[in-house]
Each structure stands twice: as C-alpha cells, then as structure tokens.
Amino acid sequence: MKAFSELLDRLVLTPSRNGKLRLLEDYFASVPDPDRGYGLAAITRDLDLRSVKPAMLRGLVAERFDEELFRLSYDYVGDLAETISLIWEGPGGGTRPLSQVVEQLNAASRSDAPALISGMLDRFGPAERYALLKLATGGMRVGVSSRLAKQALARFGDVDVTEIEELWHGLDPPYVSLFAWLDGQGPKPAQAAASPFRPVMLASPLAEAELETLRPQDFMAEWKWDGIRVQAASQDGVRRLYSRTGDDISAAFPDVIGDMDFDGAIDGELLVRKGDAIAPFSDLQQRLNRKTVSKAKLQAFPAFIRAYDLLHEGAENLRPLPFAKRRERLEDFAGHLPSGRFDLSPTIPFKDWAELAEARAAPPDPVIEGVMLKRLDSIYVPGRPKGPWFKWKRDPFIIDAVLMYAQRGHGKRSSFYSDYTFGVWTRDGELVPVGKAYFGFTDEELRQIDKFVRDNTRERFGPVRSVRAEPDFGLVLEVAFEGLNRSKRHKSGVAMRFPRISRLRWDKPPHEADRIETLEALLPD
C-alpha cells in the first residue's frame, strides 16, 4: 500500500503528461507482481469493489466523530476520502501489500466490509488511508486516463501502445502475463478476447489558415455528427460495442448488439433516432453509462450506428487499405445491414474550400457539429496523426452568464472552488441555471474566482456554496458551448453541450448578462 499511496499522491501533484508517464513507468519497474497489476487496474478503473460505498464510510465516521466537526472539516477539505484519512484516529504506521487489501475487499460481504475498512484505517497512516478509500470507492481522479496508463505500459515495455490496446480486453487484473511479456520474461499474451478492440484513428482540429496548404481533390468530406464515436465488432458469434477509448459499452445498447449479425468491425457514430430525425445528444445520454437498460428506455431512445469506416471484413484486415478503397467496401458492406440500426455516413460534394465552408455554415441537421476531412489515400492508423484526417467544427456559441454556485474541485484543485454553475435572466428577472463548467480559465483566474466565491458566499451546502448574484453585483462569465438541447430536468428548460469558461467579464454588470430568450432562439426545432 505504501508504494501505491505514494504513486497516487505524486500523480495528483504532477500536472504534466510526461511527468505522470514517468511516475507510472517507475511504479511498474519497482513494484512486484501482483501489486503493480492491481495498482494499474485501480487507476484504469477496472477494479469493481462493490462492498464499499460512500454511505458506509459516512456511517463509520458518525460512530467516531462529532458530526459538526466532520461537516466543517469536509467543507474545508472538499473530498470525502481525504477528509476521513486526515481526521481518522488510530495507531497508524502499518501497511499491507496492495494485493492483500484488494483480495480482502473482494472477499468481504456488505455486512463484513465496515469492520474490515475500520480495521485497515486504524492500521494505516494518512497516506495509506487515502489510497485505501480511493481504491475501495473507485474514485481514482488522479488525472490519468486509461489511454495514458496504457501508454505508460508501452513505454515501460518498449512496445507500441496499439499492441497493448488490442490485447487489453482479453486480460484480467493483475495482468501477470502482460507484465511478464513487458519484462522480457514471457511470451506475448495471446489475443484471448473475440471481437477485440482496434485502436481508433482520430482527426486533428483544422485551422482555416491550413486550408491554403491542402488540395480539395485529395480529400473526401462528411458531416461530423453529435453522438459518440464507437466501434462495433462481431466475430465468431461474439458481439461487442466499444467506445473510442476501448471501453466495452455493450450492456447499455442491447438493441444495437442484437442486430450486429455480421462478421467484421465497423467504425461509426452512435446516435439516437426519433422517427425520421436524429435526436439531440441529451437523448443519447439517457442510454450511456448504464449496466442495464429498461424496455421503456429502449423504446423511447432507440440507438443506431452511422457508419464511417470498415476496419475488418471477416478475417481480412482493411486498415492498411487507402480510405477511398475502404469506403467502397463499407458502402457494399452497409447495404447488407439492418437499415433501421445501421446506415452510411453521407459524403458532402464540394469543388473548393469556399463551397465546403458554405455547407459547414448551414448544415442540414442541428445535430451536426461541423465537417470531417479525410485524405482519400489515408490508411487507418491509431492515434491522431497530423495530416490524414481533420475535423472542422462549427464556431462555438458565446453567451454572458452570471456565476450562481461554486463547488470544490478534486485532486490538485481540492483546495479551490473550481466547478461553476452559471445562469441567465428570465423574463421575470430571475436567474436560472443553464450550465456548469470547470475549465477554460488560467490558474491565476482560478485564484481570482476562488477569492470572489469565498468573499461573497451566501449559503453553504457541504462542498457547494451559493454566491451573491444580483443585477448590480456578481461575477459575469463569458461561456462558450457547442450547442443546446431542450431539458425537462433543468428549470431553464435548456442544457448546454460542452460548456467552458472563455473569459471573465469583471467589467460587465450582471444585469447586462444574457437572457433566457437568447438561448431559446438557439434551440433546435
């Protein structure tokens, strides 16, 4: 536990990507099996320890500490695991192998878990307590994505990250065979999983100035749809649906899985259909991140895939073929798929960049985010190579909104109020929330907003504070976002897509911020 707790602490305090990669490499090199494998699984969120929930931890705290003292401590620290690890009283100083902790937590029933956790908290010091609680609750917010962890593995073993990604779904924690191969002490693990994930090819953002260096005749254009990128893989009767990062999301989309009666792998966009129209992203969200889906949800939000590319057909790997050839194969392949569940991404005819720019400015569907440009001769390679594919998104929408609530952040931001809820004025002069954002500002601006929040707090709700927001006093935020959807969950009736803070408007009085009518005019029909 000591090595694992030190790793978490350093990852939280290390902002750079390369710094995190070095920390992970060092951990893999210095920690023996099976501990390093369980540490990796915890960071990639592939451990599921269901016996420990936050409510149980709060119950343990209530048995030992004054409720008001804990509330004040939690309000100051802003993180449940960190608060408990600091306030817990016990002899400390002890440790255990991470593998032993994981195995005991896995074996514990819900009734046994409280005594097990309490005993470990007594034994461990603050750093190990924090690591234990993060491990037990799955709250590993240390700035490391599953992809970054796999890149660290690849660097550790001096192999290509695509080899790691294509093996990943056939492996289980603690990945002993994987580490034996990366250590040079064993063979490469067999690709045990049928219908494996193939690492996805991504597009680079396009700056309009770059168009002058590109020839229109070298590219094909298609619409960029506002869904989620997926890979539908079907092989030997095994059907899987993957997200762009390789997460298996099959359980949330049994309707799609049920119609994957083919042998191959399709790259496409997962969308929801409402009649003959494409539904907004908010409808797709009703299906995401679910382990089971009710019949009512299946009927109300039917999903389908808009196919972009064909990666495998039968046993044939098509990725080394040029895109133009893969497109031909895809058109023929898609013609044999259920039309209600799969269709083909339409191309955009254009003679020059000016004509494509006109199409981009007036897309035929509000669910379109922009256009994609793909070189006709591009092979399908993992990652984001510069040049073969570009995404040319529509310009973001901009509004001025008023800060209403602020919540403590996590990790290195746990000492700051860094998650902001903002609103606009109604016709009756009331502020209603329209979005929430936690990025887009500099570290210096974060300190400025944090001070404003602390100086102008009206009420406290645990880690959340309501902030003074009146027509003549408050903080105006310039907010950029990609689009709006109607929402019954929000009092304003709208929900933003990808909001971020683009500027602080210290110069602007709140009564000059935007009104709800401005946003309603942007809603799709």
Q: What is the pLDDT of residues 231-267, one digit of tens each?
A: 999 998 999 999 988 888 999 999 999 999 999 999 9
For 291-327, give the DSSP string.
SS--HHHHHHS-EEEEEEEEEEETTEE-TTS-HHHHH
Q: Is the pLDDT of residue 66 over 90?
A: no
- Tell whether the torsion through CA atoms of 425, 427, 433 and 438 is positive or negative: negative
pLDDT band for position 50 (cuts 50, 70, 90): low
pLDDT given at position 252: 94
- pTM score: 0.69
Of 443, 442, 441, 424, the C-alpha closest to 433 is: 424
**Confidence at 217, pLDDT banded by 50, 70, 90:** very high
pLDDT band at 51 (very low <50, low <70, confident <90, very high): low
Helices 54-64 and 113-123 cross at an angle (nearest 10°) of: 60
Tell me the C-alpha distance between 448 and 444, whole Å: 6
* Rounded average pLDDT over 27-48: 91
- Residue 92, pLDDT > 90, answer no
Mean pLDDT on 288-300: 89
Strands (E), 280-438: 303-313, 316-317, 342-344, 368-375, 389-393, 397-408, 417-425, 431-437
pLDDT of residue 341: 95
pLDDT band at 386 (very low <50, low <70, confident <90, very high): confident
Predicted local confidence at residue 196, as pLDDT: 86
- Angle at CA of residue 152, ends 149 and 156, nearest 5°: 140
Kindly state the helix (H) or strand (E) to which residue 61 belongs, with its residue range. Answer: helix 54-64
Helix (H, G, I), strand (E, B) or coil at 396: coil
Residue keyed to tokens 């593998």: 99
Q: Nearest to residue 22, comparing CAs of 9, 7, 5?
A: 7
Let me know: does 422 contact 403? Beta carbons within 8 Å: yes
Residue 525 pLDDT grade (very low, low, confident, very high; cuts 50, 70, 90): low
DSSP 92-105: --B---HHHHHHHH
Asked if residue 32 lies in contact with residue 4, where contact means CB atoms within 8 angstroms, the answer is: no
Per-residue pLDDT tens digits for 98-144: 999 999 988 888 888 889 999 999 999 888 998 998 888 877 777 78
Average pLDDT over residues 62-76: 81
Task: Tell me the domain boundaries of the chain.
Answer: 204-393, 397-520
- CATH number, span 204-393: 3.30.470.30
Tell me: the pLDDT tens digits for 398-432?
899 999 999 988 766 777 899 999 999 998 889 99
Contacts 24+ apart (CB under 8 A), 449-454: 449/403, 449/406, 449/417, 449/418, 449/420, 449/475, 449/504, 450/406, 450/416, 450/417, 450/418, 452/403, 453/403, 453/406, 453/417, 454/417
Say what the pLDDT of residue 175 is. 93
Q: CA dist 162 to 30, 196, 202, 238, 491, Å?
A: 24, 12, 14, 22, 45
Kindly report, residue by residue over 145-157, the tens digit of the pLDDT.
Answer: 888 899 999 999 9
Token readout for 256 is: 């799609």
Average pLDDT over residues 214-234: 95
Sign for the pseudo-dihedral over CA of 362, 364, 370, 372: negative
Q: What value does the mean pLDDT take over residues 278-300?
A: 88
Of all residues in the chain, the percent with pLDDT exceeding 90 is 51
* Predicted confidence (pLDDT) at residue 332 exceeds the cutoff of 90: yes
Closest C-alpha to 278, from 248, 312, 301, 298: 301
Residue with tokens 């000492």: 415
Residue 230 has pLDDT above 90, yes or no: yes
User: Positive or negative CA dihedral for 394, 399, 404, 410?
Assistant: positive
pLDDT at 195 over 80: yes
In this structure, what token pair is assigned to residue 197? 């994930």
CB atoms < 10 A from the CB of 302, how many? 18
| pLDDT tens track for 461-518 | 777 899 999 988 999 999 999 878 887 777 888 888 889 998 898 878 898 899 999 8
d(CA 500, CA 298): 32
Helices (H) and strands (E) in the chain, counts: 19, 20
Render pLDDT for 390-403 as a digit per residue (tens, 0 to 9): 999 887 888 999 99
Cα 177 from Cα 203, distance rounded (Å): 34
- Is it the case that residue 271 has pLDDT exceeding 90? yes
Average pLDDT, the chain: 89
State which fold the 397-520 domain adopts. OB fold (Dihydrolipoamide Acetyltransferase, E2P) (2.40.50)
Q: In this structure, what DSSP letter does residue 378 have?
A: -
Residue 429 neighbours by CB distance under 10 Å = 9
